[in-house]
Amino acid sequence: MGAKYTHKCNKCGYSVSTSGPWEFYRDSEGNRKFFGHPSPNSEEARQSGIQGLFGNLYCPKCDKVFDLVLDEYKKPTFNKIDMWLGRCESTDKYNQEDAVKCPICGNTDLILKPLENEEIVCPRCGKGKLVGKMDWGS
């Protein structure tokens, strides 16, 4: 169930957008490709199955958004219900708590959706807090 989020400073108005999780597959060369959402966007995607999930996550330390794999499965799935219910077996890398991290600083506290009970200080003005909201979901 993918969604797009906006995180906006309540003082200076700075904002950053995140989105995901989104399905992906691997082509014959091993390259990650967008699977399509809610259905496959190509015959190649349909035949390949869903290999995992990715998202556009925000690193508050680097003040950047990164396109990162959130989970990758040992075997592709052809059943989205199994995927969304957590029935797909993750590769060893994605069974580790720190598998998803900022490629620049290594921070593992990345933001996808608005955080409850946690405030992020605005990286631009240093005075406000980033307040998140969902723009849309699918």
Report the alpha-carbon distance of residue 91 to residue 73 in Å, rounded.
5
pLDDT for res 76: 96
pLDDT for res 57: 97
Nearest to 107 by CA among 98, 95, 119: 98
Per-residue pLDDT of the chain (138 residues; tens, 9 = 90+): 689 999 999 999 999 999 999 999 999 999 999 999 888 999 999 999 999 999 999 999 999 999 999 999 999 999 989 988 989 999 999 999 899 999 999 999 999 998 777 778 999 999 999 999 998 988
How is 27-72 classified by DSSP, letter by letter?
-TT--EEE--SSS-SSHHHHHH-EEEEEEEEEETTTTEEEEEEEEE
Backbone dihedral region for residue 63 (phi beyond 0: left; psi -120 to 50: alpha; all else: beta): left
pLDDT for res 118: 74
pLDDT for res 59: 96
